[in-house]
């Protein structure tokens, strides 16, 4: 009788899902943070790797995992994986699309509202004991009704964010970085990125991290935005040049920013910590119990499918 297939898991997952894996596989669990050398060492002999976006699955790790048949990323993005090299080695790469769309779209609107109505700033002031009572001109924010939402990247999450704009009385426009308009966009108008930046009151980013999108929001882009505009990023940190963002905030070229992702996570650009008009969240876009469970369940399903000789459920690309 052949031994069960071996699987490397780089995070905790719900016990029911772990039990499902252990029924058919021999599972080794690592706990983050995981050094690259340790990941390369422990992936040897494994047939499957379930990992997070925080693990860099580069050529060195893939070469070490000579027996790998699947790399299952518990995330919708997969810029942490050398997908081309994995495919060249005959390794399936999967992600977890769809299941986190609603949660991330909701959280994007939470950040928009927090920045527009200065919620974080007000809470900090209150906790310091600096509130002296209601005043007519105290901590005035921006009302969303009648304003324009600019969505950069109209994939699943971008569409879900744009679909909620009418509920706040906003009109939505979008710009596609990858070219081509997605099907079924009936609640937003496509414009060029430049027109979006110039005309939008809120600019929200929903593009994958690629060479074309890295620093898509740079000094030039920020200088094109309205001085009353808010920038929101729940996509990937490096799509925003954080040094340029700090410069734009210092020069008051934009009104506020709200970030859930960062260029060098978990580090945050020190200048951004100094601004009261910047909302900072620790990568919480998909952080609901329901969504994170669904993400892990889909990743486990991908692993079990491939190890049983079936095609992956959600292959990337």
Which residues are annotated as catalytic?
A: 236, 265, 283
Q: Which residue has the tokens 């580090």?
A: 267
The neighbour count for residue 311, using CB atoms within 10 Å, is 9
**Helix (H, G, I), strand (E, B), or coil: what is residue 256?**
strand
* Token output for 308: 């049983």
Q: How many residues does the chain have?
A: 317
Q: Which residues on neighbouring strands pair with residue 9, listed in sequence order?
A: 29, 50
Q: Can you tell me the distance from the alpha carbon of 207 to that of 225, in angstroms, rounded to the nearest whole number?
A: 18
**Helix (H, G, I), strand (E, B), or coil: what is residue 148?**
strand
Q: Can you tell me the distance from the alpha carbon of 177 to that of 154, in angstroms, rounded to the nearest whole number?
A: 9
What DSSP element (H or E) covers 23? helix 15-24
Peptide bond just before 121 cis, omega within 30 deg: no
The neighbour count for residue 124, using CB atoms within 10 Å, is 12
* Token output for 23: 């029924």
How many CA atoms are closer than 13 Å to the CA of 173, on its beta-carbon side?
A: 18
């Amino acid at each position: 009788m052949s031994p069960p297939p071996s699987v490397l898991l780089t995070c905790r997952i719900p016990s029911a899902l772990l039990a499902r894996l252990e029924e058919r596989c021999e599972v080794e669990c690592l706990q983050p943070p995981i050094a690259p050398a340790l990941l390369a060492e422990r992936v040897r002999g494994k047939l499957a790797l379930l990992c997070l976006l925080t693990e860099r699955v580069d050529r060195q790790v893939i070469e070490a995992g000579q027996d790998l048949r699947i790399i299952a990323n518990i995330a919708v993005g997969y810029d942490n994986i050398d997908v081309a090299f994995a495919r060249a080695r005959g390794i399936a790469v999967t992600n977890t699309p769809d299941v986190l769309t609603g949660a991330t779209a909701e959280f994007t609107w939470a950040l928009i509202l927090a920045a527009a109505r200065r919620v974080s700033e007000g809470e900090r002031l209150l906790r310091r004991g600096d509130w002296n009572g209601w005043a007519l001109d105290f901590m005035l924010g921006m009302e969303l009704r009648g304003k324009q939402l600019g969505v950069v990247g109209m994939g699943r999450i971008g569409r879900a964010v744009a679909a909620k704009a009418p509920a706040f009385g906003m009109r939505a426009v979008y710009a596609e970085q990858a070219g081509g308009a997605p099907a079924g966009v009936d609640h937003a108008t496509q414009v060029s990125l430049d027109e979006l930046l110039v005309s939008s009151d809120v600019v929200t980013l929903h593009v994958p991290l690629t060479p074309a999108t890295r620093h898509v929001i740079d000094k030039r882009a920020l200088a094109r935005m309205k001085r009353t505009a808010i920038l929101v990023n729940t996509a990937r940190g490096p799509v925003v040049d954080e040094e340029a963002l700090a410069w734009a905030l210092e020069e008051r070229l934009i009104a506020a920013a709200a970030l859930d992702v960062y260029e060098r996570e978990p580090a945050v650009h020190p200048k951004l910590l100094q601004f009261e008009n910047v909302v900072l969240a620790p990568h919480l876009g998909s952080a609901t119990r329901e969504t994170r469970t669904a993400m892990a369940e889909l990743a486990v399903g991908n692993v079990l499918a491939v190890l049983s000789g079936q095609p992956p459920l959600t292959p990337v690309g």
